[in-house]
Structure 1
């Protein structure tokens, strides 16, 4: 039996086929789509019709890879990066290009919403999170103010993943993991926020899709697509969810207290809880996960760039970087790197830049630069880990979404003070989408398969990557973390960061 996942990415659409019996991905495909060109700075838009064409192309290629097994496809799940807005009219025609979550054109509208509700603290108290520029809430207000003709024509507003789910099934709906990213959802209470909707426009009550349980299908694959793709009738379409929720599921984080470090370009430290744990400092986003629980997520914008900077400068491979890291002692002989090359989400420093502190004639060496960059990133994760503890988490260990190499994983363990282990072959949110489809299918057919059970079956922990913390190095890094945070606060207060 196979379950498919579709991910509408920023540059391409990907499809994978999960072989449930073998617990492996048996086929995958990718089809590119392009940006709308000629837009002002900060605008990032795409034509949703391109997503449909790319999804169709990637689906056909993936199913061709399955060969005679395409008849065993039982369900399809969908995901997409956080944020974004698709606008449809009464006839379900696309009114304008979709704004994506990385579009910054609605920053003024996000600020306007914030002012109306007491800023970030007021919004967090009202709905669990501040409103971001890339959210559907801010983008909807932007549409109303900048393109009133399009806003008047609008009959439906959807996230990208829910738009593709609608195209697949003909059924509109949104699951809490997606709704929690819109800026219009009261996350702790898992319901739309009437106050926010009324502030933007009362028409939103009719324009937003109805809610779907994370364990219920949104519908079945439309007969025309069954025929076009050579699939049996009755293939279920899972509700879909946001990338953060399904990425956590893909590494087995489906139980209370599970913590995941994502070292991808959209890095994060996330933890699952049975109840909502709201961060009133606004650093941890309060989201809904794919299993009906809650997710606290702290973004790490430099999880890739901080290390890639040094690798690229010296022309090192990943192995050469690891060897340089292993050749140096903790503390990099006094070098301290603030790795905010792309700004930072945790701590919240969107306009910050990187800082190298403590340079001397003796410590400015390639190996120490490797150590300082790795420690700077690991200490950033350590700060996020301390914020999870502030929220009430007591993690027994941390899962890493991909093998980061033994030296860096040891560094993470020493900073966290708990064991760190990598998940073998994690497929990210795309795999999580297929896993969600499997749970929905079996529950629909009377089997009480849980999200934690599917995660335990599909996700393999690579025990060979387990790294236990060294108590002395943990104590040293706790002191270094305090020094780093003092430097951050001092430079930020002085306007230098």
Structure 2
């Protein structure tokens, strides 16, 4: 039995086939789609029709690799990065190119939301999160103000994953994990915010999709697609969800208190809870996970960039960087690196740049630079970990979404003060989408498969990667983290960060 995942990424659409019996990925494929060119700075748009073409091509390639196994496909799940907006008219025609979550053209509209509702604190109190410029909320207001003709034509507004789900089934709907990323959803109450919808326009009540339970299918795959792809007519399509919710599921974080460190380019520290946890400081996003629980997420924008900078500078492989890290002592002989090469999400410093502090004639060596960059990144995660504890989480350990190497994982364990272990072979949100489809399929057919059960079955923890913290080094890094945060606050207050 196979379950497929579709991910509409920024550069390409990917499809994966999960072999449920073998608990492995049996086939995968990718098809690129292009950006709309010639737009002003900050605009990031794509034609949703290109997603359809890419999804069709990637699906055909994946099923071809699956061979006769395509007859055993039972369900499909869909995901995409947070944010973005697709606009359809009454005839379900695409009105204009879709704005993506990384589009920043609606910054002024996000600021309007803040002014109207008492700034970020007022919005957090109202709905759990501030309104971001890449959210559907800000982009809908931008559309109304900048393209009123297109806004008047609009009959439906959708996230990218819900648009593809609509194309697959003909059924409109949105699950809480997707709705929580729109900026229009009261996340703690798991419902649309009447105040935020009305602020954009009274018509938004009818333009937003109806809600779908995380345990119910969106619908069945359309007969035309079943025939085109050679799939059984009984294939169901899961409700779909945002990338953050399904990425957590893909590493087995499906129970209360689970914590995951994602070391990908869009890095994060995320925790699952049975109750909504709202950060009134606005650093942690309050989201809904894929199972009906809540997800607290702290973004880490430099999870890859900080280490890649040093590796690229010295022409090192990953193994050579690990060796340099292992051969240097904690503290990098006084070097302290603030790794904000792309700004930073946690702490919230969107315009910050990197800082290398404490250089002397003795410590400016390749090994110490490797150590300082790794410690700067690990301490950033450590700050996020401290914020989770401030919010009431008491993690017994942390799962890492990919094996980061023994030296760096030991560093993370020493900073966190709890064991760190990597998950073997995670497929990210794409795998999570396929896992969601499996749970929904079995629930539909009378079997009470839970999200925690499928996570325990599919996700393999690589015990060989487990690293336990060293108490002495943990105490050292607690002091170093305090130094780092003092430096951050001092430079930021003085306008240098």
* Range of TM-score over shorter length: over 0.9
Aligned partner of 2:32 in structure 1 is 32
**Which residue of structure 1 lines up, in the alignment, with residue 365 of structure 2?**
365
- Cα distance in structure 2, aligned partners of 1:236 and 1:393: 36
> CA offsets, 1:177-231, max 9 Å, x none?
0000000000000000000001110000000000000010000000000000000
Q: Which residue of 2 aligns with 1:316?
A: 316
Whether 1:265 and 2:270 are equivalent positions in the alignment is: no
Corresponding residue for residue 127 of structure 2: 127
2:342 paired residue number: 342
Moved beyond 4 Å, runs of 4+: none
Structure 2 distance, partners of 1:364, 1:334, is 10
Aligned equivalent of 2:181: 181
Corresponding position: 1:297 with 2:310? no
Distance 2:117 2:133 in 1: 16
Shift of 1:44: 0.1
| 1:60 counterpart residue number | 60
Alignment partner of 1:281: what SS? coil
* Distance in structure 2 (CA, Å) of the matches to 1:234 and 1:224: 13
Cα shift at 1:472: 0.2
Deviations 1:330-386 (A, max 9, x none): 000000000000000000000000000000000000000000000000000000000
Match of 1:212 in 2: 212
Backbone CA RMSD of aligned residues: 0.2
1:6 matched residue in structure 2: 6
Give the Å deviation of 1:61: 0.3
* Match of residue 160 from structure 1: 160
User: Does structure 1 residue 117 correspond to structure 2 residue 117?
Assistant: yes
Point out where structure 2 has 5 or more consecutive residues left out of the alignment: none
Q: Residue 122 of structure 2: SS of its match in structure 1?
A: helix
Q: Which residue of 1 aligns with 2:190?
A: 190
User: Counterparts of 2:199 and 2:150 in 1: how far apart (Å)?
Assistant: 19
- SS of structure 2 residue aligned to 1:465: strand
Q: Give the Cα–Cα distance (whole angstroms) in 1 for the partners of residues 33 and 317 of structure 2.
A: 30
Deviation at 1:416, TM superposition (A): 0.0
TM-score (norm 2): 1.00
DSSP 3-state at the match of 1:356: strand
Distance in 2, matches of 1:184 and 1:82, equals: 13
What is the CA–CA distance in structure 2 between the aligned matches of 1:68 and 1:7, rounded to whole Å? Answer: 23
> Structure 1: which 5+ runs fail to align?
none
CA–CA distance in structure 2, aligned partners of residues 327 and 466 of structure 1: 20
Q: Secondary structure of 2:70's match?
A: helix
In 2, Cα distance between the equivalents of 1:201 and 1:251?
39
- Distance in structure 1 (CA, Å) of the matches to 2:275 and 2:467: 30
- Hey, what does 1:429 align to over in structure 2? 429
Deviation at 1:234, TM superposition (A): 1.5
Q: Shift of residue 29 of structure 1?
A: 0.5
- Please show how residues 69-108 of structure 1 align to structure 2 within 5 Å: 69-108=69-108
2: distance between equivalents of 1:486 and 1:27? 49
> Structure 1 residue 288: deviation in Å?
0.1
SS at match of 2:462: strand
**Cα offset, 1:74, TM superposition:** 0.1
Q: Distance in 2 between matches of 1:66 and 1:267?
A: 31
2:226 pairs with 1:226: yes
CA distance in 2, matches of 1:333, 1:465: 27
Q: Distance in 1 between matches of 2:199 and 2:9?
A: 31
> In the alignment, which residue of structure 1 is the partner of 2:478?
478
Residue in 2 that maps onto 1:250: 250
Partners of 1:247 and 1:259 in 2: CA distance? 12
Deviation of 1:91 after TM superposition, in Å, equals 0.2
Q: Are positions 1:408 and 2:408 aligned together?
A: yes
Correspondence 1:143-154 to 2 at 5 A = 143-154=143-154
Alpha-carbon deviation of 1:424?
A: 0.1
Which residue is 2:21 aligned to? 21
2:164 is aligned with 1:136 = no
Kindly provide the CA deviation profile for residues 35-68 of structure 1, in whole angstroms up to 9, marking residues without a partner as x.
0000000000000000000000000000001101
Distance 1:291 1:253 in 2: 10
Across the two proteins, how many residue pairs are aligned to each other? 497
> TM-score scaled by structure 1?
1.00
